[in-house]
Structure 1
Amino acid sequence: MSSELYDLVGHGDLTVAPDVECFDGDVVQFVDGTRAHVDVLVLATGYRVSLPFLDPAVYDPAVGAMPLYQRVLTPERPGLFFVGFFQAVGSGIPLMELQAEWIGDLITGASVLPPEPVMRRWIDDDLAVLASRYGGSERHSMQVDFWRYRRALLEAGALRPHPSLRERLTRPLLGLR
């Protein structure tokens, strides 16, 4: 959902309507009894995640919430990465960039994953937050709080392997952290 939606509604450029009860030609009747003549109707029903190119035995997104550590990987297959499987208010691009940077760090060894029980606890806690906030709504099964999720990704990316003595001595000289 675009963060501009609120401004468009506030300025009267968009009108929020109740649920549709029925159609009669170019007239829409809403559940509150109001009617409107329409030229175009945009039906926004959401979506269900489908990965038809991926064998469900490898990963099955049909479970709804996609229980992924940091919304990126499953502890059973730490080399299989998902980017962008979240819903945020505002632009998701900065979060996808953080996901991609973290994946790159994992692949190159600049960052490491925590032990499996820690990843599972993060997934359980994340799903619990969703359930408490949205009451188990399938529509919100991938919702993230932008700033909370950004912080979680940065913390995950900060988990570094124990550097060798050589790395500890040469990285500062090269201007690397």
Structure 2
Amino acid sequence: MIGAGAAGLSAARHLLADGHEVIVFEAGSYVGGLWVYDNDNGLSVAYSSLHINSEPRSTSFEGFPFPDDTPLFPAHQHVRSYLESVADHFGIGARIRFRSRVSAVEPVNGEPGAGWIVRTEEGSEETFDVVVVASGHQGLPAHPPWATDFTGRYLHSNSYREPAPFAGHRVLVVGAGNSGLDIASDLVPFAAHTLSSARSPLLIMPRMILGLPAARVLAKINRRWLPWVVQRQAMRWISRVYHGRPEQWGFRTPATRTHPASSATYMAHVSYGRIDVRPGVERIDGHTVTFVDGTSAEVDTIIAATGYEVDLPFLSKKVSPIVEHQIKAYKRVVHPDWPGMYFIGFFNVSGGANISMMDVQSRLMTAALRGDAALPDSAGMHRDIAREERFLAEHFPGSARYGLELDPVRYRRQIGKVLGGAATGTADSNPK
């Protein structure tokens, strides 16, 4: 197992429940992965004000809920504590080798099905029957092409922690995903001028809808029997009821599927004129930023909330299934060409269902290891992967951001077919 974040814990829990011997390699000193503030593994994206956008009941592993006193929208500290309790309860902690960064995973004798040699930067080398890659897809920041043209202070959002160091600065936040909205809102009380650049069309959802968490309401809309055009119109209607038309604030309404962004404060700051909304960046000359609409602004600092490249540096090109922001694995889990290699957590999904989707993936993985999953042969897996690529190209066109996107309802249905209707269910809730 590579990684002791949420994905690694999910996989380890299910593997232990099936009686497998599990060893987890973790580059840092802590359980929790990206939820550990200033994690010494260098992969944390947590900033001081970070809260998840969903309620605990939709963000927990099946059969192991958050504590009853957890806030409706947990902070990163709550998520880290929860993941630590998962590791303790299921006996995973004793199986984690901390400060063990995997440097290479190679097939034994270069042959499929012969096992895997795992090497670490610390000098260890061991052979395993199965390797589960759960190291996450937010390890390598994606920088915009004009980043080197800027002569002020530039950083990617993965390096952002708190707003105080930017007091008095004119700050441009590029990117309008959840992190971009959070960071722009964070900066308002400190920065001399906060600008927010949104290149792509987007929908911004409120955190609460009629007194209920937005993710809970949106889950009611995201039904398999409800046509996508109806779902899209419902989400547009909700966004407009709370925030008005995107165009009135300088955004564009999406014409295709999109991953809605959510913020409790961003639109309030925009409406009060505290955040200056701009379109995409056209070019930069020194401190002068020119946007695609021809306007320009002088800024001291740019924070690029522009996402990540999927990076698995310990896998050779021959083995790695990562191609242009997508993972060429069957159902995002099973390597089609190299038996005994599985991937957990390589997806994006709205509505706070990340952890529950990891449970679904872990269930597919363990069923495959038992021989209980109706898996196609390698050629069939590749055909299925090609179908998924066409689905993404049709429904999420024009943005690399959606290369890992999942439709949670559709995905559960697909996994249910592979498992004979068992996409849901619970691993043993008792500790090992």
Uncovered stretches (5+) of structure 1, i.e. residues with no partner: 161-177
Q: Which residue, out of 53, 72, 81, partners 2:342?
A: 81
CA contact 2:321–2:329 (8 Å) conserved in 1: no
Other-structure match for 1:149: 411
Q: Distance in 2 between matches of 1:24 and 1:130?
A: 37
Whether 1:57 and 2:313 are equivalent positions in the alignment is: no
Q: Normalized against structure 1, the TM-score is what?
A: 0.70
Percent identity of the aligned residues? Answer: 30
Other-structure match for 1:12: 268
**1:79 Cα offset (Å):** 1.7
Whether 1:125 and 2:390 are equivalent positions in the alignment is: no
CA contact 1:88–1:144 (8 Å) conserved in 2: yes
**1:85 Cα offset (Å):** 1.1
CA contact 2:330–2:385 (8 Å) conserved in 1: yes
| Aligned partner letter, 2:349 | A
- 1:36-77 CA-to-partner distances (Å, cap 9, x unmatched) read 878x75311111111111122222524432222101123212
Q: Distance in 1 between matches of 2:356 and 2:298?
A: 39
Q: Normalized against structure 2, the TM-score is what?
A: 0.32
Other-structure match for 2:231: none
What SS does the aligned partner of 2:268 have? Answer: coil
Uncovered stretches (5+) of structure 2, i.e. residues with no partner: 1-176, 179-204, 208-260, 423-432
**1:127 Cα offset (Å):** 0.6
Other-structure match for 1:116: 378
| Aligned partner letter, 2:375 | L
CA contact 1:84–1:96 (8 Å) conserved in 2: yes
Other-structure match for 2:330: 69
In structure 2, do the counterparts of structure 1 residues 13 and 96 end up closer, same or farther at CA, with 3 Å as the change threshold?
farther
- Total equivalences in the alignment: 158
CA contact 2:321–2:335 (8 Å) conserved in 1: no
CA contact 1:98–1:154 (8 Å) conserved in 2: no
Other-structure match for 1:165: none
Q: Distance in 1 between matches of 2:289 and 2:324?
A: 35
**1:13 Cα offset (Å):** 4.8
**1:112 Cα offset (Å):** 4.0
Q: Which residue, out of 276, 295, 305, partners 1:44?
A: 305
- 1:119-148 CA-to-partner distances (Å, cap 9, x unmatched) read 222211111111112335322211111211
**1:109 Cα offset (Å):** 2.7
Q: Which has the higher strand share?
A: 2
RMSD: 3.1
Q: Distance in 2 between matches of 1:19 and 1:63?
A: 22
In structure 2, do the counterparts of structure 1 residues 155 and 10 end up closer, same or farther at CA, with 3 Å as the change threshold?
farther
